[in-house]
Amino acid sequence: MGSLQQILEILQTNLLNPLQPYLKPITSALPEPVDDALLSLLGEHCHSTLIRSLDVTADPACLPLAVSKTLGVAIVTFSAIVKVPQILKLLSSRSSAGVSFTSYALETTSLLITLAYNARQKFPFSTYG
């Protein structure tokens, strides 16, 4: 397998360059909250390189950073969403038969401790998981 730089050049040449005429109008007109979130997630340099210029070869460190941050946010987000179907089922059945209160209490306590620790240490949200 080739080096990261070779892989990025192939990706840039074969995928991003042909799509740039279609993607640049989208990335240049992102809603401000989305653009601000991406800017704070990636940093100014990587945001400019990956989002504005659509150039993965300019700084090879930016793409792995973006993938890592995206995966971190996805894990944290989906781990919060995963309980929603069970909660909805409990609400619709109006019964908690078969659900262990102790299990929920311990799980909630552990999540709150993890949240408090990460917030107190001022870790990035994408690393909370």
- What is each CA distance from 61 to 87, 109, 116, in whole angstroms? 41, 37, 31
Cα–Cα distance, 113 to 111 (Å, whole number)? 5
Cα–Cα distance, 28 to 13 (Å, whole number)? 21
Question: Within a domain: residue 111?
Answer: no
Question: Within a domain: residue 126?
Answer: no
Question: Within a domain: residue 91?
Answer: yes
Structure tokens at 111: 């999540």
- Report angle CA 98, 104, 106 to the nearest 5 degrees: 135
Question: Within a domain: residue 120?
Answer: no
Question: Within a domain: residue 51?
Answer: yes
Of the ranges 8-22, 24-38, 67-81, which one carries the lowest mean pLDDT score? 67-81
Question: Within a domain: residue 110?
Answer: no
- The parent domain of residue 94 ranges over 1-98
- Is residue 5's pLDDT more than 90? no
Question: Within a domain: residue 108?
Answer: no
Query: Rounded mean pLDDT of 81-95?
Result: 87
What percent of the chain is modeled with pLDDT above 90?
Answer: 36
| Number of domains the chain is built from | 1
Query: Rounded mean pLDDT of 103-128?
Result: 87
Q: What is the residue-averaged pLDDT of the chain?
A: 88
pLDDT one-digit tens code per residue, 23-50 = 999 999 999 999 998 998 899 999 999 9
Question: Within a domain: residue 116?
Answer: no
